[in-house]
Chain A
Amino acid sequence: MGIKFGSDRSRSVVALIALVLGLSMFVAACGSDDDEGGGGGGGGSADATGKEVAAECGLKNGKKATGEPIKLGGIFTKQPGTDFSEIGLTAQAYFKCVNDNGGINGRPIEYVFKTEQTDPGQIASIAKQLVENEKVLGIVGNISIIECTVNHKYWESKGIYTIGAGIAPECWSTPNSAPVNMGPRYSVDGGTQYLIREKVKKLVLVQSNVPGTGYIEGGFLAIAKDAGIPTVSLKENVPIQDANSAALKAVQAAGEGGGVILNFTPPEALKILQAAQQQGLQKRVKWSCSTPCNTDFVAKALGPEWENQLGVNAELNVTSHDGPDTNLYRAVLKKYAPKIPLGSFSQMGFVQGKIASEALLKVKGDFTIKSVNDAFKNVKNFKTDILCEPWYYGDAPLHIPNHTDWTTTPKDGQMVIKEECFDISNVDPDIKRVEDIEAEDPSLVGK
């Protein structure tokens, strides 16, 4: 009796093993959605830092807009493990601020957003629903793992020019998409350039083991090759189950005087960085990280040992910056979306809302899909202290308007600027194409 061996119940064994393997697949499914790499998580609370200003947006006249609403739409991923809603909800908060300050010449903006769960059919139907049923006139605040890939042709067919934040390659390589962020590929480029300036002897890129890593490492390889520095590309399954080993592996691959670039979401990057710290590895190599690490939480969790030891590529300014738009951004969050934390994601939503609102204020005559999208497309030389260089749309086969970044480093529990704005290298071919576009029409960037 008891635990039996040799009974006729081998089916139970098979079932148990199947259960274990099923669980493993479930883990993989949970993990693989975690590599958005595009933005960054939360930072501090909205009133934690910086100068206090009044939340005055748009016409800034303090009068509530009461006219017929102008409908804008947005699509973002919201699923277990991947929630990009902070971006769209911050754009919405900015529109509320505009509506409380005279709206678009008296007319309020009505923001209709839909969430998706990385299902191409669902994403395509949401786009049609927004345009054909909801009758939105423009698309603002999109951020999704695959939305650009799925919908870019639909937007092109409808003459809709989206103002969003990107993840998929099509967000930066198609004519009707202009993100405010630069995404994981160019952010990794920026991290690579930082480490080259730090004179590392070898470069190691560590990323999540998910589709799209080949595209992301393309720029890293090109820039390192141009600088004559050997490279190693590593992938880690996420969620990382053995951060100590992952950190050790990266450091060993880089060798003495090498540099390691991490391209993960903040929780996964933090696991590796903390594991490195606990094993005394943080000074064995130079460390860099793509934009998602640019959050105060990471700085707080890492402590003083990482100051100047970690350089984070920052597509957007630090949230504690004292500048008119960053101060307004904090005020808008505090008043209209106090639960949304300071960080790259909410900064993106703010910038998108501001670009769209200011473009709408320039529309003459009726608000139609054509007039609204012409206004979006005509945005040029949009200056904000949240971005290094002016943002623009313009008529071009591709848009990477944000291709100039900062490098930040953790200090006293905050991310602070370590390197002022620098251009992402035009060794990466699409950056060269964008520079050529800007050279052909210097007015795009106010030159």
Chain B
Amino acid sequence: MPSWQDFQPFIATGLALGGVYALSGVGLVVLYRATGVLNLAFGAVGAFGALLSWELINNQGWSEWPAYLMCVLFATVVTLLYGVVFGPPLAGRDPLVKATATLGLALILLGAMSWIWSDKARSMVLPTSNENFSVGQVFVNYTQVIGFAFGVLMTVATAAFLHYTRLGTAMRALANDREITATLGVPVRRVEAAAWMGSGLMAGIAGLLLSNLVGLDANTLTFLVISALAAALIARLNSLVVTLLAGIVVGLVNALVTPILSISEYRDMTPFVLAIVALLYLSRHREVSFSRAAG
């Protein structure tokens, strides 16, 4: 068993990844609450944005910050477009159908990334990774700090937005009942579009951070949505605070298992194990469903 000293550096990596998982999880939950769509293309959109950013910097001569902005902009626009085009026709369908439709978008984007960028090695090092400091024996760079901080701040900001703004209130109303909200005069499509846009924004930020924290690889980034999904599932696609905590726990456990060599190679199972344990625990006395109520 490694010593406490051996575990310490993994806390920093776990918190950073956990923060980004939380950020992604919040993006998924907000969209799900407002539209009933579990967006499985969240990772693919961020991955495409990150690769686009790399392309602009390395092959088109763009400077870094405008290229990073393009990553976020791409993710926001693509997610918004998907929501505007496919959201209304799928609005009345089962959540599973809606989720599967986003899987289609994920696979299209994944195919496009493989076609455009192949699987050659490439990397994205954010300028914040070159600045670092030490906490005791632990080396921390600012991308890790930003990863964690963004997770926390975006959760707080999103919760405040949902609670204190008119648009946020409309989103919460949609989460309760789409039909009744519509009959009360709330512009449902505009509110849903705002939710798609917000989710896309978070996908872009998460994609950019993960391209540095994890690696600039289409497959990896696309399917990191699974860790975020686990955080969202633990929160029963409901609570932002629980999503934040679950995301951080997933990241931390994943990292802290790493130095324990006997189980280290199984650590990628962490999100599923935690999600399944949480769901089984929560469903001890009741049936659990994530389906939104009809009418």
What is the bound-complex CA distance between A236 and B291, given in angstroms? 37
**Given A5-B286, A248-B10: A27 and B125 interface contact (C-beta under 8 Å):** no
Q: Is the CB of A16 within 8 A of B259?
A: no
CB atoms of B288 and A10 under 8 A apart: yes
- Which of B13, B176, B213 gathers the greatest number of chain A CB atoms within 10 Å? B13
Which residues B79-93 have CB closer than 8 A to chain A? none
A2, A234, A240, A301: the one within 8 Å of B123 (CB): A301
- Are B219 and A27 touching (Cβ within 8 A)? yes
Given the known A-B contacts A16-B233, A246-B258, are A2 and B175 also in contact in the complex, defined by CB atoms under 8 Å? yes
| Of the residues A3, A20, A265, contact of B238 by C-beta under 8 Å | A3
Which chain B residues in 204-246 approach chain A with CB under 8 Å?
A: 213-215, 217, 219-220, 223-227, 229-230, 233, 236-238
Are B13 and A267 within 8 A (Cβ)?
no
List, in ascending order, chain A residues with CB within 8 A of B238's CB: 3
A5 to B50, CA, bound (A): 37
Is B169's beta carbon under 8 Å from chain A?
no
- CB-CB under 8 A from A209, the residues of chain B are 265
Q: Is B279 an interface residue (CB 8 A)?
A: yes
A20 touching B272, Cβ below 8 Å: yes
A308 within 8 A of B: no
A82 to B120, CA, bound (A): 10
Cβ A21 vs Cβ B122 within 8 A? no
Residues of B within 8 A of A236 (CB): 265
In the assembled complex, how far is the CB of residue A254 from the closest CB belonging to chain B, in whole angstroms?
12
**Chain B contacts for A24, CB-based, 8 A:** 223, 226, 272
Please tell me if B157 contacts chain A, counting CB pairs below 8 Å. Answer: no
Contact between A242 and B275 (Cβ–Cβ < 8 Å)?
no
A173 interface hit (Cβ, 8 Å): no
- Whether the pair A279, B9 counts as a contact (CB closer than 8 A) is yes
- The residues in B between 269 and 295 inclusive whose CB is less than 8 angstroms from any CB of A are 272, 275-276, 279, 283, 286-293
- Could you tell me if B290 and A3 are in contact, using CB atoms closer than 8 angstroms? yes
Contact of B176 among A1, A267, A281 (CB under 8 A): A1
List residues 5-23 of chain B with CB under 8 A from any CB of chain A: 6, 9-10, 13-14, 16-17
Picked from A2, A265, A280, the residue with its CB within 8 Å of the CB of B132 is A280
Q: Given A5-B288, A297-B122: A237 and B141 within 8 A (CB)?
A: no
In the bound assembly, the distance between CA atoms of A183 and B233 in angstroms comes to 43
A53 within 8 A of B: no
Please tell me which stretch of A142-150, A270-278, A362-370 contacts chain B, meaning at least 4 of its Cβ atoms lie within 8 angstroms of it: A270-278
**Bound Cα distance from A245 to B10, whole angstroms:** 6
Contact A248 B40 (CB under 8 A): no
Chain B residues with CB under 8 A of A212:
none
Q: Determine the chain A residues whose CB is within 8 A of the CB of B276 once the complex forms.
A: 17
Evaluate contact between A30 and B121: CB separation under 8 angstroms. Answer: no
Instruction: Give chain A nearest CB distance to B252 CB in angstroms.
Output: 11
Shortest CB–CB separation between residue B255 and chain A, in angstroms?
A: 5
Please pick, from A3, A7, A26, the residue contacting B175 in the complex, using a CB distance under 8 A. Answer: A3
Give bound CA distance, A295 to B121, whole Å.
10
Interface residue from B121, B255, B291 paired with A298 (Cβ < 8 Å):
B121
A12, B99: Cα distance in complex, Å: 11
Assuming A2-B175, A23-B223, is B279 touching A17 (CB within 8 A)? yes
- B67 close to A (CB within 8 Å): no
Q: Give Cα A19 to B267, complex, Å.
A: 20
CB distance from B49 to the nearest CB of A (A): 18
Q: Is the CB–CB distance between B258 and A245 below 8 Å?
A: yes
B254 with A242: CB separation less than 8 A: yes
Cα distance, A243 to B216, chains bound together (Å) = 11
Q: Shortest beta-carbon distance, A211 to chain B, in Å?
A: 14
For window 222-250 of chain A, which residues contact chain B by CB distance below 8 Å?
Answer: 232, 234-237, 239-246, 248-249
Q: Is A122 an interface residue (CB 8 A)?
A: no
| Complex contacts, B120 vs chain A, CB 8 Å | 41-42, 266-267, 297, 341
CB distance from A299 to the nearest CB of B (A): 11
Residue in B closest to A343 when the chains form the complex, CB atoms? B120
Chain B, range 112-171, C-beta contacts under 8 Å to A:
114, 118-123, 125, 129, 132, 139, 141, 143-144
Cβ contact of A245, chosen from B95, B132, B230, B255, cutoff 8 A: B255
Which chain A residue lies CB-closest to B269? A24
List of B residues within 8 angstroms of A197 by Cβ: none
CA–CA, A271 to B132, complex, Å? 18
> CA A420 – CA B191 in complex, angstroms?
66
Interface centre among B33, B175, B264 (most CB of A within 10 A): B264
- A residues adjacent to B (C-beta < 8 A): 1-10, 12-13, 15-17, 19-21, 23-24, 26-27, 30-31, 34, 41-42, 80-83, 209, 232, 234-237, 239-246, 248-249, 252-253, 265-271, 274, 278-281, 295, 297-298, 301, 341
Known pairs A245-B255, A267-B122. 10 more at Cβ < 8 A? A1-B177, A3-B237, A10-B288, A13-B288, A17-B279, A83-B118, A235-B265, A237-B265, A244-B13, A278-B125
Give the 5 A-B residue pairs with the shortest CB-CB distance, closest first: A9-B289, A266-B121, A271-B215, A239-B220, A244-B13
**A to B CB contacts below 8 Å, 22 in the list:** A1-B176, A3-B236, A4-B292, A6-B287, A6-B289, A8-B289, A9-B287, A10-B283, A19-B96, A19-B100, A23-B223, A41-B120, A80-B114, A83-B118, A242-B267, A243-B214, A248-B258, A266-B120, A270-B215, A274-B215, A279-B9, A297-B121
